[in-house]
A and B are shown apart, each in its own frame.
Chain A
């Protein structure tokens, strides 16, 4: 970053790359906050922040990773302001995800989504980045601003929780519907936002 101001060509490149990652930002946001309308608001906020901060983007690096950092920080801020409460999006298709061999009920995509939204935010985002977005642990750690080991631990715990919920069919109907749970999540968010989330994964 030698020049403070970008040339017109650089701006055009930035905008093209930014446009290309919008579908990924929408997918990440949908996974984080559950509801499609809130997720899209979050992405719009992210796009405006990214555009305003474009001189801090290093050309040649990953636009997806860079914008995901902006999106997650905006999400954490909004979450602390109580805008998102992990509400479940009823529009997720009731698609059968797995059909177990035995007599058990099949797992639906909506079960998956609901189970995901019950996870603490830092585990949910770690699992989304690695398990859905296809980021490496190293990339996910960079995006979340924590150690690689922390990401591995969060992903492991998230997977274990989903495994237990989905295999036992024990998925809460609502993810965050009591004050105690909500307060606990806000406390965790403060730690995550302060970069201390690594101490307890």
Chain B
């Protein structure tokens, strides 16, 4: 098992359970679970409103 490579030294000394990830739960996800990602991804893919472009453009002068 090479998934235990101590990339993160905090983990190797703990001897606890292996790192977990959301992906491991995927098999047991109910049908609606991808709706959460849809809600999120839908916003991520929206074009950025001008108000954000303006705000970002003004940041440099805020020092």
Chain A residues proximal to chain B, CB less than 8 Å: 11, 15, 18-19, 22-24, 26-28, 30-31, 40, 43-44, 47-48, 51-52, 92, 95, 97-98, 100, 107, 109, 112-113, 116, 127-128, 130-138, 148, 152, 159, 162-163, 166-167
- When C-beta atoms are compared, the residue in chain B nearest to A158 turns out to be B36
Which listed residue (A22, A27, A138) contacts B52, Cβ 8 A? A22
Are the C-beta atoms of A138 and B35 separated by less than 8 Å?
no
The residues of A that contact B49 with a CB separation of less than 8 Å are: 40
| CA A23 to CA B38, docked complex, whole Å | 14
Are the C-beta atoms of A44 and B22 separated by less than 8 Å?
no
Number of A-B contacts (CB under 8 A): 105
Q: Does B51 contact A (CB under 8 A)?
A: yes
Q: List 20 A-B contacts (CB under 8 A).
A: A19-B56, A22-B48, A23-B45, A23-B46, A27-B42, A27-B44, A28-B40, A44-B52, A47-B55, A95-B38, A107-B31, A112-B35, A112-B39, A116-B39, A131-B36, A132-B37, A132-B40, A135-B22, A138-B19, A162-B32
| CA A22 to CA B56, docked complex, whole Å | 10
Q: Does B3 contact A (CB under 8 A)?
A: no
Are the C-beta atoms of A166 and B44 separated by less than 8 Å?
no
- When C-beta atoms are compared, the residue in chain A nearest to B31 turns out to be A98
The residues of A that contact B38 with a CB separation of less than 8 Å are: 95, 97, 109, 112
Which listed residue (A47, A132, A134, A159) contacts B39, Cβ 8 A? A132
The residues of A that contact B31 with a CB separation of less than 8 Å are: 97-98, 100, 107
Chain B residues proximal to chain A, CB less than 8 Å: 19-22, 30-46, 48-49, 51-52, 55-56, 59-60, 62
Are the C-beta atoms of A26 and B36 separated by less than 8 Å?
no
B19 to chain A, nearest CB (A): 6
**A-B contacts besides A44-B52, A162-B32, A166-B30, 18 pairs, CB < 8 Å:** A11-B60, A23-B48, A26-B43, A27-B40, A44-B55, A47-B52, A48-B55, A51-B59, A97-B38, A112-B35, A112-B38, A112-B39, A128-B40, A136-B19, A136-B20, A136-B21, A138-B19, A163-B32
Which listed residue (B36, B46, B56) contacts A132, Cβ 8 A? B36
Are the C-beta atoms of A15 and B39 separated by less than 8 Å?
no
Are the C-beta atoms of B45 and A112 separated by less than 8 Å?
no
B35 to chain A, nearest CB (A): 4
| CA A200 to CA B28, docked complex, whole Å | 25
